[in-house]
């Protein structure tokens, strides 16, 4: 492990005045953090695989460029792009609905 990462686990993260911003990680907290990150990665990968099975991955993420022979994004990247696309679509839909309610009859 690098000395910088080791110091984060032992001392935590401090600002320039020495005030602790993030306390040091105990073994249990570190394992919980790794478990949550692993679960998030697995769920996103499964979601991306589902998008690929539905054949909507070309709409969700720009997978190919004319000079590439291999896909640009993995299932994980496709799922993240798909989630971002869905969240953005919801936001724009709300804004469009509010704008349509304000128009005169």
Q: Where are the alpha helices (DSSP H) in 1-105?
A: 3-11, 27-53, 57-60, 75-102
Residues 6+ apart with CB under 8 A from 8: 22, 24, 25
* 3-57 pLDDT per residue, tens: 766 666 667 777 777 777 777 777 787 788 889 989 998 988 888 888 788 887 6
The domain limits of the chain are 3-102
Instruction: Say what the pTM is.
Output: 0.56
* 75-101 pLDDT per residue, tens: 788 788 888 888 888 899 999 999 889
* d(C-alpha 37, C-alpha 103), whole Å: 45
């Amino acid at each position: 492990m690098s000395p910088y990462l080791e110091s984060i686990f032992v001392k935590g993260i401090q600002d320039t005045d020495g005030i602790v911003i993030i306390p040091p990680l105990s073994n249990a907290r570190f394992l919980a953090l790794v478990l949550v990150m692993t679960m998030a990665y697995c769920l996103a990968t499964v979601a991306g695989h589902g998008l690929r099975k539905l054949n909507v991955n070309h709409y969700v993420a720009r997978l190919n460029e004319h000079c590439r022979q291999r896909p640009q994004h993995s299932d994980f990247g496709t799922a993240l792009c798909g989630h971002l696309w869905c969240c953005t679509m919801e936001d724009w839909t709300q804004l469009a609905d509010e704008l349509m309610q304000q128009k005169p009859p």
